[in-house]
Amino acid sequence: MVAERLASRLGQSVLVVDRREHIGGNAHDYLDERGVLCHRHGPHIFHTQSPKVVDYLSQFTGWRPYEHRVLASVDGKLVPVPVNRTTVNRLFGLELTTDREVEDFLAARAEPRPRIETSEDVVVSKVGWDLYEKLFRGYTRKHWGSDPSELHATVCGRIPVRFDGDDRYFADSFQSMPADGYTAMFERMLDQESIEVRLGTPYDPSLRSLGRHLVFTGPIDEFYGFRFGRLPYRSLRFEYVSRETPNGELVQPVAQINYPGLDVPYTRTTEYRHLTGQEHAWTTLATEYPSEDGDPYYPVLNDENRTLYRRYEEHSRRDEDVTFVGRLARYQYLNMDQVVAQALGVFERLRSVPGTVPGTGRR
């Protein structure tokens, strides 16, 4: 986004560098060997409350309305996530019919915490120990490699609790998928004569000599040679299965099924045609296995790691010709729309700095 703005609005020559062999970062999608459109680095669902973000991206894509729904496999049942009235009724064998009944049921099981500091505090104070153990603890331990009691409150604080029957994963006013996929959207952004793209090129400090300003989106600790120590990230490994569906049917009832139990080594399965709306005689499902090794996807947010990041952030203020953007560079757990908004904000700041005629590099 920063590269597109610099080229189209300021007429700058921009170099975009990516160590991977494709554009689009973790949101990259592609056609697999069966011709099914898949997300290479796990499901990416676009949702936002920001008209500014929608207006910007709509220059490069049409949209397919899509509301994400997730089921969790618990006690032999599939129940909606986030917790809602249906979740409570199925897991506890109840027939609650009003929001107030669900609210009272959960309040009776909630355990008040004097201070909300960890993800365990967040969940237990809202829904109590039963649902915490059934839906949250195992999934979190597998995904993050840490118990919720060891993670910052913001990690699980992102997940709402509902008293009605709303089974959508997100409640944002705009929920849609790029009509032709994310990669097609990014290709249109970069389709400018003044933008050069180099793929399969790891970041090297010598790149800084090619332009007057560097926008870096990789891990900030790597940029500085891990001088203060490594910031922990979680990664993912994927196993893909293709199934023939001659009549165009889908295998799962929803796009994503979570497996919170520690007896199952993976966290979730995703069927991509739910997301894309693609009509096809085959369908592809991806199973996710969290890992400590591999590409960094998720910053592990706890007090110790946030303190370490702040050392890097403070050090980065000495580099006036470098701007850090995104989840890895700022060690934040950001949604896609937040990254877009952050990038647009960075562009506005750069264009306002006297004498700055920025070029851009990516990790």
72 within a domain of the structure (yes/no):
no
CA atoms within 13 A on the CB side of 127: 29
Strand partners, 291: 235
Structure tokens at 131: 């649902």
- φ, ψ of residue 95 in degrees (nearest 5): -135, 50
Confidence at residue 362, expressed as pLDDT on a 0 to 100 scale: 38
Q: What pLDDT digit, counting tens, does each position of 245-275 carry?
A: 999 999 999 999 999 999 999 999 999 999 9
Q: With a cut of 70, say whether residue 360 has pLDDT above it.
A: no
Q: With a cut of 90, say whether residue 352 has pLDDT above it.
A: no
Confidence at residue 355, expressed as pLDDT on a 0 to 100 scale: 57
Section 85-107 average pLDDT = 97
**HEC-encoded secondary structure of 198-219:** ECCCCCCHHHHHHCCCEEECCC
Confidence at residue 211, expressed as pLDDT on a 0 to 100 scale: 86
Domain range for 117 = 96-157
Structure tokens at 334: 């950001």
Q: What pLDDT digit, counting tens, does each position of 212-234 carry?
A: 899 999 999 999 999 999 999 99
Let me know if 100 is exposed, middle or buried by CB neighbors in 10 A (0-12, 13-18, 19+): exposed
- φ, ψ of residue 251 in degrees (nearest 5): -85, -45
> Residues 244, 281: contact at Cβ < 8 Å?
yes
314 within a domain of the structure (yes/no):
no
- CB neighbourhood size of 186 (10 A): 24
Structure tokens at 46: 């676009």
Domain total for the chain? Answer: 1
What is Dmax (Cα atoms) for the chain?
67
The residue among 173 and 154 whose pLDDT is bigger is 173
Q: With a cut of 60, say whether residue 361 has pLDDT above it.
A: no
Strand partners, 14: 195
303 within a domain of the structure (yes/no):
no
Binned at pLDDT 50, 70 and 90, residue 209 comes out as confident
Structure tokens at 265: 């080594």
> Residues 143, 105: contact at Cβ < 8 Å?
no
112 within a domain of the structure (yes/no):
yes
223 within a domain of the structure (yes/no):
no
> Residues 297, 326: contact at Cβ < 8 Å?
no
205 within a domain of the structure (yes/no):
no
pTM of structure: 0.92
Q: Convert 197-224 to b/e letters by CB count within 10 Å (16 or more is b).
A: beeebebeeebbeebebbbbbbbbbbbe
140 within a domain of the structure (yes/no):
yes
118 within a domain of the structure (yes/no):
yes
Confidence at residue 157, expressed as pLDDT on a 0 to 100 scale: 83
The whole-angstrom separation of Cα 337 and Cα 349 is 18
- CB neighbourhood size of 340 (10 A): 20
Section 56-62 average pLDDT = 98
CA of 324: how far to CAs of 45, 169, 174, 214, 342, in Å?
24, 30, 27, 8, 10
